[in-house]
Amino acid sequence: MAKLRKREKFVTISVLLCIFLWFVQYIPLGFWRYFGIVCFSLLTYILSAISLSDDLQITEWFTILPFHSLYSLAIGLFYFLLPTNLFSRLVIIVIFGVGTYFLFLMSNVYSISKGRTIQLINAAHSNQIFFSMLISLLLINTLFSFQLIFYQNCIIIFLIHFWLSFFNLWAQELDLKIKFHLWQLSFLSSLLVGQLGIILDFIPFPIWHKALFIMAFFYIILSLFQQFLNQKLFKKTFAEYYLVMAFMLVLLIFLFPRK
């Protein structure tokens, strides 16, 4: 692996992870299936560390690598909610592999851009937001499918969005030292999303609608905090996000069908 160039390592490990995801489907349903998915997520963490080892800093073991694991966990859990036909699973495998490769490219940009500005940083931010919303949507949809108790949903939603928030907010500064205000903002954003999860748990909306609304709410909260870190949170900006949130609330109440 050491003799491979970066892009070759990214492709090789993406293919390896696709193969592992394919084999996980043959684990019997139940406890061992979920145990296999968790192991697959941990394997993603290890292989991602190997692929990015050239420029990986200590800070990124707590920011970039958990993001890769969450992506694998989201795809792995959602993968088994799909119909058990070969075509649908092949499509998910391909999507997962392509997504993993783009995640490696994004993470590589963050690793090499610390302390300096490069042209690809805006593209990396765009990819980061897209994958964050995708992870949120898939994991929340899967979570509500388990029909857990409301406080269990709240805790899990909080943990998921804490690490998503932490990575996204850290990426705005790309500092080698993790500053305390990042922990504070991550805690606040994930707490707000978790509380929304409790509210939606008592409303008889379809699961996909709940997941979409939580994802949209998370996007707005995260965007506000990112604007705050970039010192661009003006009254006009806040008002725009507030109007978007109000519009989505109207859609949720009046347009989305009930169960």
pLDDT digits (tens, 9 = 90+) for 164-200: 999 999 988 888 788 899 999 999 999 999 999 998 8
Q: Give the mean model confidence (pLDDT) for residues 217-231.
A: 89
- In the prediction, which pLDDT does 41 show? 95
The two three-digit tokens of residue 67, written as one number: 């993001």
Q: Do 157 and 34 belong to one domain?
A: no
Q: Give the whole-number percent of the chain exceeding pLDDT 90.
A: 45
In the chain, how many domains are there?
2
Q: Do 76 and 165 belong to one domain?
A: no
Q: Do 130 and 256 belong to one domain?
A: yes
Measured between alpha carbons, how far is residue 208 from residues 81, 105, 165, 193 in Å?
Answer: 13, 30, 22, 16
- In the prediction, which pLDDT does 74 show? 94
- In the prediction, which pLDDT does 257 show? 57
Q: Do 167 and 86 belong to one domain?
A: no
pLDDT digits (tens, 9 = 90+) for 30-86: 788 889 999 999 999 999 999 888 878 888 898 899 999 999 999 998 887 776 777
- In the prediction, which pLDDT does 32 show? 85
- In the prediction, which pLDDT does 2 show? 45
- State yes or no: pLDDT of 250 exceeds 50: yes
Q: Do 81 and 194 belong to one domain?
A: no
Give the containing element (helix H, strand E) for 160. Answer: helix 150-173
- In the prediction, which pLDDT does 255 show? 61
Long-range contacts of 82-91 (CB under 8 A, 24+ apart): 89/22, 89/25
Q: Do 108 and 125 belong to one domain?
A: no
Q: Give the mean model confidence (pLDDT) for residues 4-32.
A: 87
Q: Do 76 and 144 belong to one domain?
A: no
**Domain limit, last residue, from 87, 112, 137:** 112
- In the prediction, which pLDDT does 259 show? 46
Q: Do 138 and 201 belong to one domain?
A: yes
**Domain limit, last residue, from 81, 112, 143:** 112
CA neighbor of 214 nearest in space, from 143, 149, 147, 146: 143
DSSP state of 258: P
Q: With bands split at pLDDT 50, 70 and 90, how would you rate the model's confidence at 117?
A: low
pTM attached to this predicted model:
0.89
Q: Give the mean model confidence (pLDDT) for residues 111-131.
A: 79
8 Å CB contact between 156 and 60: no
Domain interval for residue 81: 1-112
8 Å CB contact between 251 and 209: no
Q: Do 61 and 187 belong to one domain?
A: no
- In the prediction, which pLDDT does 152 show? 92
Please count the other Cβ atoms lying within 10 Å of the Cβ belonging to residue 150. Answer: 13
Phi (first) and psi of residue 56, to 5 degrees: -75, 130
Q: Do 76 and 171 belong to one domain?
A: no
Measured in whole angstroms, the distance separating CA 110 from the mean position of its chain's CA atoms is: 16
Q: Do 66 and 141 belong to one domain?
A: no
- In the prediction, which pLDDT does 247 show? 81
**Domain limit, last residue, from 93, 112, 131:** 112
Q: Do 186 and 252 belong to one domain?
A: yes
